[in-house]
Structure 1
Amino acid sequence: MDPVSETFTIDLRRLGVLRELQRRGSLARTAEALHLTPSAVSQQLAALAREAGVPLIERQGRGVRLTGQARLLLQHADLIAAQLERARADLLEFRQGRRGAVTIGAFGSGILGLLPATVRSLAEDRPELRISVIEAEPPDAFTALDGGRFDLVVAVDFAAAPPHTDARYTRFDLLTDVLDLALPAGHPAAAREEVTLRQLASEPWIVGDPSSCCGAVTRSVCAAAGFTPEIRHQVNDWQALAALVEAGAGVALVPRLVQPLRRPGVVLRRPADARPARTVFAAVRAGSEDDPVLAGVVERLRVIAAKAERAGGDL
């Protein structure tokens, strides 16, 4: 074979025989070290020479010596062997869930309430694990999961999410995220210990886009309470929503996952006539749950979610 051929390839096991010959200095000692016959060693070296397209050994008295091309090839062999050792170590770390790459698609408040602590925790004890987070909601998040763009999705149960029975996914429930009423501090209802949704039926509401999980949940919760909210402002950004509530522009339902964003001009009350909540879950492609890297990320997510749920408590 011509060494400059585009199809140039060599057998790494035969390359190992050449490396051993360099170390041992003779065919007999090489054969003994590799538990082969001298004839088998010669055959391996001849085959390697054909693959490389260059002579690798030449006769010297009763023995052999390496050609200049063989010594050049061996310089690369040492690099290849070192890289293979690194690959083996990486695969071992992957098997232990310590090395790899995971792309997570998650809804906005899930990113805010769960992902920073998860990413930080994984970075501390698995620094070789690369986590990427992309904001996305169903159904687009699951389309990306199906196509391999995402490895894991963090989502909320609502109409756009796949049903529990969808065999394409393995699902892990993370937490029940309670929603509270957010009122301007100067609102008359803010001074009450108990506030019902019905008492706010005539108020202007600040609600997310209807295609978003929280926008959909707010609409359904108000409908269950017997009214259709007057949606004065439609925003998906929680900072913007909190700022509008603080400015007296309306009232809103806010999940506890985002309540680290609390503002001094916003008062939170648990609705007395309802227990609005949403189920947050993680999902992976069915069968991939046994991947050690993915399993490690899911387990860390569950730990962080349990802490977040405990920290939420009751108002």
Structure 2
Amino acid sequence: MLSVDRLRVLHAVAAHGSLSAASQALHVTNSAVSQQLTKLEREVGQPLVERTGRGVRLTDAAELLVEHTARILSLVQRAEAELEAHRDDVVGHLRLSATPTAVRGLLPHALVSLREAHPGLRLELHEEEPHESLPAMARGDADLAMVVDWDGAPLDLPGGMSRAPLMEDVGDIALPADHPLAHRELLDLEEILTLPWISWSRRSICDDWLHDMIRSRGAEPVIIHNVEEHQTKLALIAAGIGAAVMPRLGRGPVPEGVRIVPVQPALVRQVYVFWRSDGSRRPAIRAVVRALRESAATYTE
């Protein structure tokens, strides 16, 4: 009889591409992963992996087994969810992948609420951008993900997911305080398209959105820097270098030398949490979603 634990190891190797990456994801040693694969190969009577340089390649037999394993693990998770729902206890260990601004803006309140209401629940946070959260959820490396997507550029979620909206977040324009537009109370989007922009990390979802938003209005984006951290962007702007779209969620203090000005039409992004539909009945997942929604409902800029 095939071992579910060994199938889980094979699935991790397929998802991560190497024994070492699979061992990190499973929190075990490389030798433990290798031993489990050897035992699984004896069980099926066929080789499952072939080493290729620093990585491994799955054999045809392994690919077939991984396809079935994905369904088996989904059924296991559904069974675990139904057992948890039957017991109705908010306990266990959940992994949450979340974008940094949502972490700063929503997680502190939610974590305090969960700790007080459900001391038997351990929520493990991984701060990741949406382009990292999506594959993490697809691989099963996270139980929930809190992400953002901009109006007009929705994320393409992996299959079999459920989602809950949390809030809308608005992006304003951050300018050097001595910029000719900085004295304005409201900017028109058309008059800022050609500003020298400090964008997000290159090819990230937000960076792609900024390029597409500007090009959709007939201009070519002028990107002078790609910076991820909001406070780094603000420091550059305070020094008179460029402008940036600055979302309100998790913005933090604005330094001297920077002026934040709203823009019309508003630049809006949706903040939401999603999880695998198989786990929807898990009381722990429902509790985390509820805490995040309550935090979003009470959020003040």
TM-score range, shorter chain: 0.5 to 0.7
Larger Rg: 1
Q: Deviations over 1:225-258 (max 9, x none)?
A: 4322211111011111111111111111011112
- CA distance change for structure 1 residues 94 and 104 in 2, over 3 Å: closer, same or farther? farther
> Counterpart of 1:113?
105
- The 2-side partners of 1:92 and 1:280 are apart by 28
- CA distance change for structure 1 residues 252 and 101 in 2, over 3 Å: closer, same or farther? same
- The 2-side partners of 1:262 and 1:214 are apart by 21
- CA distance change for structure 1 residues 148 and 167 in 2, over 3 Å: closer, same or farther? closer
Question: Please, which of 196, 206, 214 is the counterpart of residue 206 of structure 2?
Answer: 214
- The two structures have a TM-score, normalised by structure 1, of 0.63
Q: Are 2:92 and 1:100 aligned?
A: yes
Question: Please, which of 144, 147, 154 is the counterpart of residue 155 of structure 1?
Answer: 147
Alpha carbons 1:238, 1:258 under 8 Å: kept: no
Count of paired positions: 217
Question: Please, which of 272, 275, 292 is the counterpart of residue 301 of structure 1?
Answer: 292
- Where 1:216 maps in the other structure, the secondary structure is helix
Alpha carbons 2:84, 2:283 under 8 Å: kept: no
Q: Deviations over 1:160-216 (max 9, x none)?
A: 8325xx641011111111111111122121111222233233431100024323223
Q: Are 2:256 and 1:264 aligned?
A: yes
Alpha carbons 1:151, 1:285 under 8 Å: kept: yes
Report which stretch shifted further, 184-193 or 151-160.
151-160
Alpha carbons 1:156, 1:213 under 8 Å: kept: no
Alpha carbons 1:167, 1:286 under 8 Å: kept: no
Residue identity matched to 2:140: G
RMSD of Structure 2 on Structure 1 (CA): 2.4
- CA distance change for structure 1 residues 211 and 160 in 2, over 3 Å: closer, same or farther? farther
> Counterpart of 1:278?
269
Q: Are 2:151 and 1:134 aligned?
A: no
- Where 1:179 maps in the other structure, the secondary structure is strand
Structure 1, unpaired ranges of 5+: 1-90
- Where 1:302 maps in the other structure, the secondary structure is helix
Q: Deviations over 1:121-153 (max 9, x none)?
A: 212222332111112234432222233210001
Alpha carbons 2:194, 2:219 under 8 Å: kept: no
Measured after TM superposition, the shift of residue 94 of structure 1 is 9.8
Alpha carbons 1:93, 1:99 under 8 Å: kept: no
Structure 2, unpaired ranges of 5+: 1-82
Residue identity matched to 2:246: V
Q: Are 2:164 and 1:172 aligned?
A: yes
Q: Deviations over 1:243-291 (max 9, x none)?
A: 111111111101111222322322111113x221111111101121110
- The two structures have a TM-score, normalised by structure 2, of 0.65
Residue identity matched to 2:96: I
- The 2-side partners of 1:254 and 1:97 are apart by 40
Identity %, equivalent residues: 33
Question: Please, which of 215, 221, 225 is the counterpart of residue 223 of structure 1?
Answer: 215
Alpha carbons 1:170, 1:285 under 8 Å: kept: yes
Measured after TM superposition, the shift of residue 98 of structure 1 is 3.3
- The 2-side partners of 1:304 and 1:162 are apart by 25
- Where 1:102 maps in the other structure, the secondary structure is strand
Q: Which has the higher contact order (CA 8 A, sep 6+)?
A: 2
- Where 1:191 maps in the other structure, the secondary structure is coil
- The 2-side partners of 1:271 and 1:225 are apart by 15
> Counterpart of 1:247?
239
Q: Are 2:180 and 1:188 aligned?
A: yes
Residue identity matched to 1:301: L
Q: Deviations over 1:21-75 (max 9, x none)?
A: xxxxxxxxxxxxxxxxxxxxxxxxxxxxxxxxxxxxxxxxxxxxxxxxxxxxxxx
- The 2-side partners of 1:194 and 1:149 are apart by 43
- The 1-side partners of 2:179 and 2:292 are apart by 37
